[in-house]
Amino acid sequence: MRVRCRKLQPFNKEAADDVIQKDHGLHPDDKYLKPGRIPHIWCPGCGLGVVLTTFIEAIRRKGLPVDKCAVVSGIGCTGRVAGYLDMDTYHTTHGRAIPFATGLALAKPDTSVTVFSGDGDLFAIGGNHLIHAARRNVNIKVICVNNFNFGMTGGQAAPTTPLEAKTSTTPTGNAEAPFNLPAVAHAAGAVYVARWTTFHPRQLVHSISQSLDKKGFTFIEAIAPCPTGFGRPNKLGSGLEEMRFYRENSEIRNGIDPGLAEIKLRGKIVVGTFSDVDRPDFLENYQNNVVSKVLSKGDKPGKGRAA
Amino acid sequence: MKFWRLPLDSEVHSIPHGTVRIIENRCKGCGFCIEFCPNGCLKQSKRFNAKGYHPPEVVSYAEDCADCGLCSLICPEFAIFTQLDEAKKITESDILKVSTRYSRKDKRYVKS
């Protein structure tokens, strides 16, 4: 028997890259994306791309010009969103996306500032910034993509990892209770709190476009599958199987108390818009209580300004 | 369920008909579009793209694409989108099709 071997062709990365780069501009979303950056680095089956698509769709639906949008993101897999969007974006230090965004929102009040970051960035290292921005009601829109672990560094346990879930740092099961993100944001004073999974892209588009209209601190949690970091140790399967899990186990309950919407490993996921209230935002309060009083004091003769 | 006449507001509405466009070299083969297309227009192809994944392809009864755009929303890779071809007027035969399509007579939607 003669075995004929085919001659091996070495993989030509440049030629393959050229083939991929040629496709820029074919997709209608490509005008919002930096040329040459797609395909992105996220794993096959990751839900981050879905959240990015829904954000672009919400901007298009609202008709917001690209010059009036700014996206700030922190570190992590979700932090790379700032590198892919073709608008004013800011890839900041770890956990400090909200302080940078606060400065941006106060300096340019007519810009719609969105913070796009992960659960590890916003709630682990940046937890304090988030609750204080929510307390002050700064005019920023937070989209928190929750994949239950620190994905980029290799699947370590995060403050959102459910009890008993296995990660690379908790191989026998997590002993710490997780944060309930909508409850934290609601308790801190966010005016709009919602949670959706990547299986609900249309609802996510609707929620993001509603939050773009609101004045104040809005918080949207998007639950995304992480097949590499969280799915594999917990035997949740591929990204597609996690999406099927969301289809079967998510329960839409709009307007309930977000404290009841806790997430357990392999348990029901309560999704929906939890709260939508109106409250004066930080800039308005600052104008009323500080700027106007200081200016009026300065007008009176003999009083007011020192030296 | 059976419709015995054209709906009274059939002049106002139309049946959109779209085409699926796939940018094959961007696909990473996650299978979201194939699983969640409401009309079942897509399936996994046997060929490879430049990255070595199997991109989706349109099945033979692709006239079902209604330009709903769910595939372009749920695709994480910006690799698929739909385009509106035409918005047809509603006729008697379409009403008949609606009443049989999602019933058990239609073998395409029977789970294997």
Q: What is the pLDDT of residue A8?
A: 82
The pLDDT of residue B105 is above 80: no
Distance from CA of B88 to the nearest CA of A (A): 24
Q: What is the pLDDT of residue A177?
A: 93
CB-closest option in A28, A201, A205 to B81: A28
Stretch B43-66: mean pLDDT, rounded?
85
**Subunit contact A38:B21, Cβ cutoff 8 A:** no
**Does the residue B83 lie in any domain?**
yes
3-state SS class at A62? helix
Say how many domains are in chain B: 1
Q: What is the pLDDT of residue B112?
A: 41
Question: Which chain B residue shows the shortest CA-CA distance from A43?
Answer: B28
**Does the residue B5 lie in any domain?**
no
Tokens representing residue B94 in the block: 């379409």
Strands B42-44 and B56-58 turn out to be antiparallel
What are the average pLDDT values for consecutive 10-residue runs of chain A, which has 307 residues?
81 79 85 88 93 95 93 94 93 94 94 94 93 95 95 93 94 94 95 96 95 94 94 93 94 93 92 94 93 82 57
Decide if A134 contacts A282 (C-beta within 8 A).
no
Entry pTM: 0.89
Decide if A288 contacts A294 (C-beta within 8 A).
no
Distance from CA of A240 to the nearest CA of B (A): 6
B-chain CB neighbours of A53 within 8 Å are: 72-76, 78
Q: Which domain holds residue B20?
A: 15-109
CB-closest option in A23, A29, A48 to B25: A23
Q: What is the pLDDT of residue A52?
A: 95
d(CA A215, CA A108): 14
**Does the residue B10 lie in any domain?**
no
Question: Which chain A residue shows the shortest CA-CA distance from B81?
Answer: A27
**Subunit contact B78:A30, Cβ cutoff 8 A:** yes
| Sequence-distant (≥ 6) Cβ neighbours of residue B88 within 8 angstroms | B14, B15, B16, B17, B94
Decide if A76 contacts A151 (C-beta within 8 A).
yes
A-chain CB neighbours of B78 within 8 Å are: 27, 29-30, 33, 38, 49, 53
**Does the residue B8 lie in any domain?**
no
B-chain CB neighbours of A48 within 8 Å are: 76
Distance from CA of B28 to the nearest CA of A (A): 6
**Subunit contact B78:A27, Cβ cutoff 8 A:** yes
What is the Cα gyration radius of chain A?
22
Decide if A90 contacts A73 (C-beta within 8 A).
yes
**Does the residue B63 lie in any domain?**
yes
| Residues of A within an 8 Å Cβ radius of B | 16, 19-20, 23, 26-30, 33, 38-40, 42, 44-50, 52-54, 57, 198-199, 201-202, 205, 238-240, 243-244
d(CA B76, CA B71): 10
d(CA A147, CA A242): 11
Tokens representing residue B104 in the block: 């058990």
| Alpha-carbon distances of A62 from A153, A209, A253, rounded to whole Å | 35, 6, 25
Q: What is the pLDDT of residue B102?
A: 58
Pick from A60, A100, A67: which is nearest to A86 by CA?
A: A67
Q: What is the pLDDT of residue B100?
A: 65
Pick from A169, A137, A167: which is nearest to A279 by CA?
A: A137
**Subunit contact A28:B70, Cβ cutoff 8 A:** no
**Does the residue B4 lie in any domain?**
no
CATH number of domain containing B23:
3.30.70.20
**Subunit contact A243:B78, Cβ cutoff 8 A:** no
**More confident: B86 or A303:** B86
**More confident: A290 or B10:** A290
**Does the residue B3 lie in any domain?**
no
E strand residue ranges, chain A: 69-73, 88-91, 112-118, 141-146, 149-150, 156-157, 192-197, 218-223, 250-252, 269-276
Q: What is the pLDDT of residue A35?
A: 84
Q: What is the ipTM of this complex?
A: 0.84
Q: What is the pLDDT of residue A39?
A: 86
In the structure, what pLDDT confidence band is assigned to residue B55 with cuts at 50, 70 and 90? very high
**Subunit contact A53:B78, Cβ cutoff 8 A:** yes
In the structure, what pLDDT confidence band is assigned to residue B94 with cuts at 50, 70 and 90? confident
Domains of chain A, first to last: 46-295 (3.40.50.970)
Question: Which chain A residue shows the shortest CA-CA distance from B74?
Answer: A50
**Does the residue B20 lie in any domain?**
yes
